[in-house]
Amino acid sequence: MSVDGEPRPRSARAGARQHAVGAMTQGGDARAPRPIPAAAPPPTLPPPPVIPAPPVIPAPPVAPGLSRPAAAPPDTYRARAAHALHGWQGVHRAHSSYGDKAPWYLPSTLAADTLGAALPLTAVLDRTGQPHAAACGAAAAAAWLAVRAFRRRYTSDALGESSGLTAVLGDWLVLLGVLAVLRTAFDERADASLALAGIALAPLVAAATRTATHRHLATARRSAHAVRRVLVVGEPSAADDVVGHLAARTDHAYVVVGAVPVGGAKLACGAPVTTRLGAVAPTGPAEDAGIVLGAVREHRAELVLLLPGPRLDAERLRRLSWALHDADVPLAVVPGLVDVGVQRVQLDAPAGLTLLHIAPPIRDGAPVVLKAALDRTGAALGLLLLAPLFAVLAAAIRIGSRGPVFHRQVRYGRACVPFTMWKFRTMVADAEARRAELERSGGNENDGLMFKMRRDPRITPVGRLLRRWSLDELPQLLNVLRGEMSLVGPRPPLPDEVARYDEVARRRLAVRPGITGLWQVSGRSELSWDETLAIDLRYVDNWSPAGDVDVMARTLRAVVDGRGAY
């Protein structure tokens, strides 16, 4: 849904998350991290001075070569970094049981999973006169909790971190297997279809709870709550790229509070620097260890991010990792990959050399055939079931304004093959002729190849309603049935857009475009061109059937939310 069949506007980032700036003025109790045992011989450093007000940390520049979807405004970076730098209330402890995430995450998740599995099954079995209804409900709840606990859904690292439906469906399938074994073991004679109906609500309740905690955590992190304080160690150019990439988004837990550059080059990203590593590796490991551990104490870092490079080679990195592990300081290594899904990565270690094998994107084979079959089946069912709605919408369009019911437009699909895309008309009949006038008057609010206006005067009253609820895109089910589009995929581009594509943008055309996609659930018309391109390329490179299921589940919420639908 929300494919731009006609030009759609782009707004400024909604509200620009201005409340995040308030984190710079919020008080709280500073919580010192647990003591870090000193490496031998670590320098004795004085405690960090009490700073009355957070410093103004400059926003990082755009890191070359790194895509930045959902970019955060500079004030958000300053607020998050300054908040984390001073250890104010709400900063996540790296080793605490549940960090400083909201305390209701765990009990609410446990309660929702228990009730979502027990109550519906008990009610169904009781209403149909089946024996042991309460016992079966309790057993189902216990099995559901055990499955999700075994799959680590209740750990601090997992709570609130994802809103996807794929993981919940996987848990539910495991639950079905467990209940089948229990049913056989205890010779339970209850109707299996009734039991299946009774536990059908369990994944829905679990998914709703995951969504609630995820959205709450995302809001908290925009104010630098429940974040991990990161110290970056590496060459300045690599540090600039990584800091800029992390600072561009607020949907993750990592906030850079300091950097230890290698060598004397200037660090441009704005992260605080109090010490450096020498350009040449020292004779013994103690010198590097003392410098880095001193920076960890000074910045109260909870994670050290190591960036390999010519001056931070494998042996120097190895010795530094020994010191950090001995001091019980968590560390991670940045491999230099961007937007590569974990399902494509395989680890190997021939002759002690760590290798990351990157699988190619899925372009053919059984998964692609299955996707095409499901697309056409879903489109056929959708056209059949929605036929009455089509008739109502067609009548409303005819009554609302003069012109045809449908708007047909040439778009480009997979392998740059043109096709005619269908949608309900939402603009006046001469919309294309009036577009040139709007462009000359500076009406385009988009910063790239697409034409977008929040208050486009060409949109009819009925059309505005159709766009708000993405109903104008429903005729594209016909394109899906004909194999020109998919249910999920990138936004189908216009010919004039494709004519200005560079080599990178042309990768969007490696798969069939979709009615909905990652761009649909990430802001639609509020995204800049660079953000739209980055999101589409992430989908193209990392497509999987499970990812499509997740996008479809998130689409309904995006349509109801309505952000960027104009």
Q: Looking at the structure, tell me whether residues 199 and 277 fall in a common domain.
A: no
* Distance between first and last Cα of the chain: 12
**Is residue 18, in this structure, part of any structural domain at all?**
no
**Are residue 488 and residue 404 in the same domain, yes or no?**
yes
Please tell me the least confidently modeled range out of 13-22, 133-142, 415-424, 552-561: 13-22
pLDDT band for position 81 (50/70/90)?
low
Tell me the C-alpha distance between 138 and 3, whole Å.
Answer: 46
Q: Is 500 helix (H, G, I), strand (E, B) or coil?
A: coil
Q: What is the pLDDT of residue 239?
A: 94
475: containing domain:
366-561
**Half-sphere exposure (CA, 13 Å, Cβ side) for 528?**
12
Exposure b/e, 333-368, CB count within 10 A at least 16 = b = ebeeeeebbeebeeeeeeeeeeeeeeeebbeeeeee
Look-up: residue for tokens 């660090």?
A: 267
Residue 213 lies in a domain: yes
Query: 77 and 134 share a domain?
Result: no
Structural domain ending residue among the three candidates 321, 338, 355 = 338
Closest CA to 425 of 453, 455, 459: 459
- CB neighbours of residue 85 within 10 Å: 25
- Asked whether the predicted pLDDT for residue 80 surpasses 70, the reply is no
Cβ–Cβ < 8 Å for 503, 537? no
Task: Decide if 98 is inside a domain.
Answer: no
- 383 and 517 together in one domain: yes
Question: Same domain for 281 and 256?
Answer: yes
Max alpha carbon distance in the chain (Å)?
Answer: 83
- Span 350-395, pLDDT tens digits: 998 889 999 999 998 999 999 999 999 999 999 999 999 999 999 9
Q: How far apart (Å, rounded) are the C-alpha atoms in residues 366 and 74?
A: 45
Domain count, the chain: 3
Assess whether 232 and 147 both reside in one domain: no
Is residue 346 domain-resident? no
- For residues 417 and 491, state if they share a domain: yes
Under 8 Å between Cβ of 225 and 91: yes
Q: Are residues 371 and 391 in the same domain?
A: yes
CATH number for the domain spanning 315: value is 3.40.50
Is residue 209, in this structure, part of any structural domain at all?
A: yes
Same domain, 539 and 392: yes
Cβ atoms 525, 547 nearer than 8 A? no
Average pLDDT over residues 271-286: 86
More confident residue, 1 or 231: 231
Is residue 230 a part of any domain in this protein?
A: yes
Considering the domain architecture, whether residues 480 and 513 belong to the same structural domain is answered as yes
Its pTM stands at 0.74
User: Are 171 and 157 in the same domain?
Assistant: yes
Is the CA virtual torsion 87, 89, 90, 95 positive or negative?
positive
SS3 breakdown of the chain: % helix, strand, coil, rounded to 5?
50, 10, 40
Q: What is the mean pLDDT of residues 163-183?
A: 87
Residue 39 pLDDT more than 80? no
